[in-house]
Structure 1
Amino acid sequence: MNQGRVADEIELRHGDLAVRVSRRGAAVTAATYREMPFLVAAGGPNGAMANFAMVPFGNRVEGNAMSFAGRDYAFQPNTSDPLYRHGDGWLGLWQLEDSSSEHARFSFSRSADRVSPYAYLTRQEIRLAGDALVLALSVENRGAAPLPFGLGQHPFFVRTSQTRLTIAADRYWSERPDHLPDVPGPVPDYFDFRSEKLLPQRWMNNAFEGWNGRAAIAWPELGIQATLQADGALERFMLYMPVDRNDFFCLEPMSHLPNGHHLPDFGGLAPLAPGESLAGTVTIRMSGLPAQSEGR
């Protein structure tokens, strides 16, 4: 890719790593390593996003309502889903603050309205550091009252028939029919990736806790692998694997559980007073797969 502005997109390159980013949602729209895609455009409001930021929190809010500090708040649906979903950042056009051939920094702000009671300023920097894609996200409460905030990243990783995942967690949340978390419990064997294993051929849309912020993904057919590191507030993750598509899966580092507004301790959502902020960074480091691992 050649660096530069193309409409609302910017192309970044460093060595074998090439990434395209958009002002819409401060989203990654393509990412390749050694010309092999490791993120795929499969999400967002138009299906053109390969990663988007979830801010001022991720996932859904049950009943489009919450109570906090003795006050009741309401949301309106922001997509075709009946529940307000993934915050506002992924739907907005962000301001480009700075860019070079290897990084782009965006900001987005909003005021409270009938869709959401949240007023905030968020920034995301997308940069290439050697063979690593770094996603640094922060959010500041710009409202007049404290509210519970969260953030996360929603990458759509390429999925092949031999894709292998390594990630450990202490606790798993089952899923209700409305796609909200149900009850916590031990991680089932088929979703236990403490040792590297193939992705299961089944529906998955579950939250996990007790994570050290590390994960590894291997693509033997492509000859590449990734290590993921989540820092800052990103202490939980979601795994999403649809059954109607087999070309991607989502490993979503998050600061909180889905529907945290209705869970004990707000599911990890952080109460922020006006002017306080929350931040988290995801680093996806790419490398070639050792020869003995290829084609297993």
Structure 2
Amino acid sequence: EEASEAEVLGLSGTPEHPANFGRLCVKGSRLLDTLEDSGRLLFPEVSGKQVPWEAATNEVAQRFQDIIDEHGPDSVALYVSGQLLTEDYYVANKLMKGYIGSANIDTNSRLCMSSAVAAHKRAFGSDVVPCSYEDLEQTELLVFIGSNAAWTHPVLFQRVERAKQINPNLKIVFIDPRRTASCEVADLHLPLKAGSDVALFNGLLAYLAEHDGLDKAYIDQSVEGVEQAVEAAQSFTIEKVAQLCDLPEQDVEEYYASFAQTDKVISFFSMGVNQSSAGVDKAASIINCHLASGKIGKEGCGPF
């Protein structure tokens, strides 16, 4: 007997899941649409004509072979999705490196998170994020850096909006060259010059050192290299940072003072930081400020 086709009746989030409590973003809520087969190629075709699978596979293999014979294996490249499973990556790399004979394989996951991974390994010796979603609601100062979370993390952003309603004292800062929808909940927006993030956070580190903002007990117990980092950053005065970042001095000072004087601070950095030619240094400069001030490893604190 032929198996009857399963009918999908609906799609919903898991209400008890701690990450989203059942809320779905547009991408998740429209997943049922991907089950439609209208407009899809249901059988292999070559030059517009339906052919058996074997013929289609041979056609693709022969085309690759012809290109490699004429131009060499490095004339072929694969750009693979960041959403594949580990086994899929293995097969794709085996095809590219083992059979085609080139290392020209990349994925958007390298662009997306590799800077953050390298910065975390540099700072902590491991690719570990020392925060959880709950910290976003328990913090007193939430700083978004290079993130339009209202669009890119809408479910998370709703949690932030709710946290702000419950606790009006929660201060939110957005650091992004553009003024985006996310800025509507911000108490302060720093539209810094694109690419000037490291200067801003070097300045913050220097400010912390100058205004008794370093957690000496935490540093003695858990952190190495603070003296060298502060020394490298000390020339980044508020005046210099404002000039380099193209920001008003009073806005830079307001952000620095808020960071220094607030016990619980989250620095939520995203693709505006990661997808940069200096992404590792940008992420590291953010992490450094949390390590030096001891605002890490406790509720409502840390580089996220």
TM above 0.5, yes or no, is: no
| Larger fraction in strand | 1
- Normalising by the smaller structure, the TM-score range is under 0.3
| Larger fraction in helix | 2
